[in-house]
Structure 1
C-alpha cells in the first residue's frame, strides 16, 4: 500500500518538473530572461514553492532549461574545428550559432551575459566553448582567411546584435538572421568575397 502511494507521488513530481521546464523554455525563448518565477509557476499551474523545490534558484532553472542549446553550441564549434578548411569551419560556426540564437532570445541573452560568481551555471560550458572558438579563430587567421584585427568579442557583438532582430514570425526572424550572418561573415573575412546575400526580410521599423 505504501509503495502504491509513493509511486504516484514520484510520478507527479516528475510531471511537475517537466512541465515547469517546458513552460520556462517557451517563456524565456519568446520573452527573454526577465520572466519572473511567479509567472512561470502560474503558466505551469503549480505553486511558486513547487518551482523552488525543483530549482532552488532562477539560475538553476535557466541552466536546466538551456542545457540542450548549450550542448548544441559546443557541438557546432566542435564541428567547425573538425573542418579541413579553417575558413569553412569558421563560417559554418557563425552561421549555425546565429541560427540557434535567433530562435531563442532567452538562451542568446544567457549565453552572452555574465552572471555573478557562484550563480553562473553556464560558466564551465561557456568557457569551454569560448576556448574552442579561440582555437578556431587562431586557425582561420593562420590560414590568412580571417582579418588580422578580428577578436573573439566580435562574435559576441554579432550574437548580441542578432538577438535584437524583431520580426513578425520565427520564420522571418530566422531568414533575417541568415542575411545578417552573411553580412557579418563578409565583414570578418580578410579579403571579402562579395557573394550574393540571402534574400532581405521586411522588418518592423519600431522595437516592440
Structure 2
C-alpha cells in the first residue's frame, strides 16, 4: 500500500512538471516551482529525483508514454486504415489538439541538444511515432487504400512536413491560420498516400 502511494505521488509530480514546463519552459522551470504547484516541500521532489535533469527526463518519458499510448490505441482500432490515418494525423498535427503538446516537444528537442538523456527520450518517441505511421501505411497499401511506393519514405515525408509546420506555428504564433495549415497538411499527406485530398476531410 505504501508503494502504491509513492507511485501515485510520483505520477502527480510528473504531471505537475509537464504543466510548469508548458508555462515556463524547461530552462526556467525550477524544482521549487513544481513543489509550489503541488503544495508540497521541495524535499519530496528530491526524494524521487536527485537533480532537475533527472526530473525533466522522467517528465518527458512520462509525457511520451501517454502520447504514444493514444497513438497505439488508434493503430489497434477495428476501423479502415483511412479512418485511423485521419485520427493519427489529428493526434500529430499542430493544427489540432496536439498544438499545445508541440510547445512541449519543441522545447524538449532544443534542450536535448545539451542533455543526452533527454535527447534519447525524444529520439525514442520520434522512432515510435514513425513506426506507428509506417505500420498503418503498410496496412493501407496491403488493403489497396493507400498507393505509395515506400511506406517508410512516405512516413518520413509526412512527419517531416508536420514537424516543420509545428515549429513555424509555435515559434511564430499567428504567422499561419490554422485552416490554411490544416489544408496544407491534408494536401501533403494525401499526395504521399496516393489518395484524394477530400478523403482526409473538408478543406474548410
Instruction: Establish whether TM, by shorter chain, passes 0.5.
Output: yes
CA distance in 2, matches of 1:119, 1:54: 21
**Residue 106 in 1 paired to residue 114 in 2?**
no
In 1: Cα distance, 2:16 partner to 2:84 partner: 35
Distance, in Å, in 2 between the alignment partners of 1:70 and 1:19 is: 15
Q: What does residue 158 of structure 1 align with? A: 162
**2:55 corresponds to:** 61
Specify the alignment match of 2:120 in structure 1: 120
Q: TM-score when scaled to structure 1?
A: 0.59
Give the TM-score of the pair, scaled to structure 2: 0.60
Residues 1-208 of structure 1 aligned to structure 2 (within 5 Å): 20-37=13-30, 40=33, 43-44=36-37, 51-66=45-60, 67-68=62-63, 70-98=65-93, 99-104=96-101, 105-107=103-105, 109-110=107-108, 116=116, 120-121=120-121, 127-142=127-142, 143=144, 145=146, 147-148=148-149, 150-162=154-166, 164-166=168-170, 176=178, 180-189=181-190, 190-194=194-198, 196-198=202-204
Unmatched tracts of structure 1, length 5 or more: 1-6, 199-208
Question: What 5-or-longer segments of structure 2 have no aligned partner?
Answer: none
Rounded to whole Å, the distance in 2 between the matches of 1:119 and 1:58 is 15
Q: Give the CA deviation at 1:92.
A: 1.4
- Structure possessing the higher radius of gyration over alpha carbons: 1
SS state of the match for residue 151, structure 1? helix
- C-alpha change, 1:196 and 1:141, in structure 2 (3 Å) is same
Aligned residues: 182
Cα RMSD of the aligned pairs, angstroms, is: 4.4
Question: What is the deviation of 1:95?
Answer: 0.9
Question: Is the 2:81–2:140 contact (alpha carbons within 8 Å) kept by the matching residues of 1?
Answer: yes
Quick check: 2:31–2:42 contact (8 Å CA) kept in 1? yes
Cα separation, partners in 2 of 1:123 and 1:133, compared to 1, 3 Å: same
Where 2:169 maps in the other structure, the secondary structure is: coil
